[in-house]
Amino acid sequence: MSELTNSTSQSSLNTAETSRHEKWRLLKDAIMRRAVTIGGLSIIFAIVVIFFYLLYVVFPIFLSASAESVAQYPVPEQSAGKTLFLNIEEQNEVAARFTDSGQVIFFEAKTGKTLSQKTVLLPPDAKITSVALASPLSEGSVIYGLSNGQAVIVKQQFKVSFNGDKREIKASLKYPLGETPLVVDDTGAALEKIAFKVGDGAATIVAKTADKIRLTSIEKEQSMFSDDATFTRTDSFLDMPAANITEMLVDKEDHNLFLVSDDGSLSFIDISKKSAPEIKQHLNVVEVGQKITSLTFLNGDLSILIGDSSGLVSQWSLVKDQLGKPAFEKIRAFKVSDKPVIEIDAEQRRKGFVTVDSEGQMGIYHSTAERELIKEKISTAAPLTTILSPRANALLFENADGKIHFWKVENEHPEVSFKSMWQKVWYESYAKPAYIWQSSSASNDFEPKYSLTPLVFGTLKAAFYAMLFAIPLSLMGAIYTAYFMSPKMRIYAKPAIEIMGALPTVILGFLAGLWLAPFIEEHLAGLFAMLMIMPLGVMVFAFSLQFLPEEIRLKIPDGWDAAILIPVILATGYFAFTISVPLEAAIFGGTLRDWFKNELGIGYDQRNALVVGIAMGFAVVPTIFSIAEDAIFSVPKHLTTGSLALGATPWQTMARVVLLTASPGIFSAIMIGFGRAVGETMIVLMATGNTPVMDLSVFQGLRTLAANIAVEMPESEVDSTHYRVLFLAALVLFVFTFVFNTLAEVVRQRLREKYSSL
């Protein structure tokens, strides 16, 4: 009875222990199930958050610009005379009104309250007959042409100071060449039109009188021991009729003069030699029957914007003609209105401009992006004068009703458009349209170029050459390792190749840039020779093996054939590089690089796509090899043995059974390797010249999306156009990888369904 009781107790204990173990197992299963679910959802959530954050940063560059009226008020000090032009400082707080009586009224831009009134020092017996602003407008210089043949140059200044937290802006006038009027025409003829360029102690003045056009160059020499100054001047005349000249412009470099005639023609004159100006070009810039109604320099003075009576604004830029000589050519045009364009004001810091037609229709455009940003009715009639603020975020204009209107402008990212990012753009000083990425420069007049096309091209080019190197090596290696190699040798070979994937890519990039690139440059012929000599050497060695005595051949274990090829590969490689230098000297009469350049016109950069292909291919090989080898090795043995039993050879079995069955895994391996190549950063950053050029040549450099982001993101200003375009590049890379991987997964699933019945 006691034994039965003990047996029952032991059975109860075993049942309780089993029940606890089962509960613990179920609990662990539940925990792991939820952990895996949470982990998977977290990854999806992280990807979605990354996508929407990139979209959040990028979205503002696609927002439309806007303009709204902020204030209007009577013209300050209307009794001081008629307004010649307006100006405004960059903080949009203080504006200036220049009048035909020589008065300059400084007033609050938003209220019209007069702050101060200055009088330009003009001769009492002379009247203002012409006036012009300097280029660039940021200099704030103005010239008055007078009825007695004299001219006065004055410069407006806005000095910013702080009284505690309060900003104070004080306006003043300065005379760069002294307060004494400059005698331009010694006969005393009225200066009907005038243009100028003023610098530190020097000025160039072009003046038109009734019968001639005079070019005057003045240099100011200051005495070391007194305040007295002397002026050295050079005078010359332009050999062309003056009667029909309506507008004149002098560029900021003081090298070129542009004259516009009433017949719609433009004359381009070289004035770098002040004593002997030379007419370089004379061309018609408007259609027959149309007239030039307005013109101005685009920022940088490399282009002229010309508005005509048909409402068309054309951009004419200085480019090189077929003979390499500078010539003006129309590179783009904007149809801004059906009415005459009476005024064009260019932005002072970007390649944008504002137009106003004869019916008060205002438009803001960006020349390079070819975007119409704003079109707004600002007046019932043509404004008398208009000015865009230095930061292009405010507009000030005077109407015929005696009021000044102040408008606020929101236009943060005008440079970005579909055309500027993905199509060819004709930039200033370029001979033809091109794809260009150049986000920064030392020049203040530089125009950022944000074409993503060369970056996408460079990304695909680098990935293509890397896969061209990696796919044959990794797949052939995977096939041999999984199907033909001895199991004992596979134990060492597979981990050895996989451990290559743990090598930091920065090390590979470092070696590629500092060792591999110079080595290939010096032994380029050896690299090509190796591609011919090494396969030939392997085939000769394999052919020679059959002539060895049978007792020696039988000593080579099955699956160890690759081991005895290692010395052959090393020897043939060494031989190819050894004979390369004397071989290319004998065949090509120098280096192979020089032969490519002289005979085929193919240039050679030391850090090029060939170096990137080898280095990045080396980094991709372990990934493709490991996944492909696992897929091939996992093919069921009954398929291979059945094929062999039916009389197929090992190679036939491999090609028609194993590879087809393993094709989904092989395809996945290639796609994962391609994805890594597309997103690789450090190797392409260190092994290429990072030149964003579009050239298929394997000997030219490139720049990828990932490398570009790594290089330029630390230097970009937060929330600037450059900053957001870099995030757009990241978004393009993200979307490209996502779409490509999705398509790859669809293909993989279809391959699996097709060959799952084998």
| Integer Rg of the chain from CA | 38
Least confident of 100-114, 224-238, 365-379: 224-238
Q: How far apart are CA 293 and CA 260, in angstroms?
A: 10
pLDDT, tens digit, 9 for 90 and up, residues 345-365:
988 888 889 999 888 889 999
pLDDT at position 655: 84
Read off the pLDDT of residues 68-99 as tens digits, 9 standing for 90 and up.
Answer: 888 889 998 888 889 888 888 888 888 999 99
Q: How far is CA 617 from CA 498, 573, 609, 633, 699, in A?
A: 14, 19, 11, 23, 16
- With beta carbons less than 8 A apart as the criterion, state whether 262 and 308 touch: no
pLDDT surpasses 70 at 14 = no
Tens digits of per-residue pLDDT, 717-753? 888 888 999 999 999 998 888 888 888 778 877 777 7
pLDDT for the residue 559: 67
Vertex 156 angle, CA 152 and 158, to 5°: 165
> What does 135-157 look like in DSSP terms, one character per residue?
SSGGG-EEEEEETTSEEEEEEEE
What pLDDT is recorded for position 757? 59
pLDDT of 225 > 80? The answer is no
Distance from C-alpha of 238 to C-alpha of 251, rounded to nearest angstrom: 17
Structure tokens at 427: 């930039």
Q: Is 102 helix (H, G, I), strand (E, B) or coil?
A: coil
Give 614-640 pLDDT, tens digit per residue: 999 888 999 899 888 888 888 888 888
Q: Which residue(s) pair with 168 in the sheet?
A: 161
Nearby residues of 34 by Cβ (< 8 Å), 6 or more positions away: none
Cis peptide before 472 (omega within 30 of 0): no
For residue 418, give Cα distances in angstroms to 367, 370, 414, 430, 462.
Answer: 14, 10, 12, 20, 25
Helical H segments across 232-362, by residue range: none
In the numeric block, which tokens belong to residue 266?
A: 């433009």
Q: Identity (one letter) of the amino acid at 202? A: A
Mean pLDDT of the chain: 84
Q: Within a 10 A sphere around the Cβ of 7, how many other Cβ atoms? A: 10
Residue 755 is predicted with a pLDDT of 66
What is the distance in angstroms between the CA of the first residue and the CA of the last residue of the chain?
Answer: 63
- Nearest to 259, CA basis, from 270, 241, 247, 275: 247
Residue 204, φ and ψ in degrees, nearest 5: -120, 125
Reading the block at residue 634, the tokens are: 């996992």
Average pLDDT over residues 325-339: 86
CB atoms within 10 A of CB 72: 14
**pTM score:** 0.84
pLDDT tens column, 118-177: 888 888 888 888 898 887 766 778 999 998 888 898 988 888 888 777 888 888 888 888
Domains along the sequence of the chain with CATH = 120-284 (no CATH), 453-512+608-755 (1.10.3720.10)
